[in-house]
Amino acid sequence: MSPEVVPNYASLRLVHLFNQFAPRQAIRNLQTELELFQHNGRWFPLTRNQTEYDNSYICSFYTAYVAYARAELSLIQQPLQRWGLHKTSYLAALILRLARINQTVCLNNWLFSTNPMHWLSAEEMREISQRLVQQNPFHNLSIRSLNRRHNSEFMTHLEQQGWLLIPARQVYLFAKDGDWQTRNNVKNDWRLLRKTQLQLRHPLQHQAEDFTVIEQRFRQLFIDKHSAFNPQFSANYLYGLHEQKLLEFFSFCDAQGRIMATLGVFTENGIMTAPIVGYDTEAPKQLGLYRLVIGQLLKLAAERKLELNLSAGAGEFKRNRGGEAVIEYSAFYCRHLPWMQRQLLSGFAKLLNRYAPKVFAENPL
């Protein structure tokens, strides 16, 4: 083991935690096998799936590219483009089922919306691919959450080794050395952090009973308001993520101590993300609950001098705070699979690489 490579014990804690739960008890709309994959001292969480077409998108590429995408069509601004994408989604559904896209082993899948990937050399990735193919000869290999800003050289390695890169969504990045901290919107959010009457509850101040409310707040925003295809975390699993120090929770509470808004922060490979964001969607808008949690996240990124990946959605809000819109990709390796599966996935990749950037540019969601 080289001195630069330190085993990632967070991976071990995640796998152990998730496997303590019965199926669909940790994340209610998720069925998967989660295990630890080790290579040259590097440890990764790895998921294995078969079909599971009703899964959350974090383990179902069919859900991500068909069901979730179809549900988001109402956000497309141009009626003709919206109609065309709706019709195309049925062709995509057929293609991806025939390609068995969900029969996959996904490397570095933390079961979050965004999974920062460690840098791997071309040789390391070649060895990992060979091992995974030998162990899973009938599955495609996949890696989520790649973008050209954070993973450019790694993505080049993948392309050179025959991996397909397929656009997944548009995410918003905040560079650790960027000028976003000078934006008026950011300054206004930080001013709100100082003036709010709500009390900030720090990670160590959270108790087990808080996570029932945290689950509710996340559900109100990401499930009820947005999509049932987002991961439906249970309170017990969220508490486990807190206990195992896999997520840092920050919550804003009213005078009675009731959690009004919450934020769960995940940091990996020098990149900060927020897989848990939630608030009381029925509370008065003047409380600025979403501004508070995002303001707190931006404050943490600035103080810790970390890159921030603010994921997808609320595009205008994030751009106004200096977020850089970039395309996020999922990578697939299928050279060991039957000819038809390879052709279908390759054709799908070409189609999305040709049209998805234009759709994202015209509809910055």
Q: What pLDDT was estimated at residue 353?
A: 95
Unique residue bearing structure tokens 């029932």: 212
**Helix, strand, or coil (residue 121):** coil
Q: What pLDDT was estimated at residue 2?
A: 40
Q: What pLDDT was estimated at residue 3?
A: 37
CB atoms within 10 A of CB 74: 7
Q: What pLDDT was estimated at residue 70?
A: 77
Q: What pLDDT was estimated at residue 1?
A: 35
Contact 297, 276 (CB under 8 A): no
Radius of gyration of the chain (CA): 20
**Global pTM?**
0.94
Give pLDDT tens digits along the chain (365 positions).
343 555 679 999 999 999 999 999 999 999 999 999 999 888 999 999 999 999 999 999 999 999 887 777 676 677 877 787 777 788 889 999 999 999 999 999 999 999 999 889 999 999 999 999 999 999 999 999 999 999 999 999 999 999 999 999 999 999 998 899 999 999 999 999 999 999 999 999 999 999 999 999 999 999 998 899 999 999 999 999 999 999 999 999 999 999 999 999 999 999 999 999 999 999 999 999 999 999 999 999 999 999 999 999 899 999 999 999 999 999 999 999 999 999 999 999 999 999 888 888 777 66
Domains of the chain: 9-170+329-362 (no CATH), 180-324 (3.40.630.30)
Contact 143, 106 (CB under 8 A): yes
Question: Please, which residues bridge with residue 332 across strands?
Answer: 142, 164
Q: What pLDDT was estimated at residue 194?
A: 97
Q: What pLDDT was estimated at residue 73?
A: 67
CA distance 204 to 300: 16
Q: What pLDDT was estimated at residue 24?
A: 95
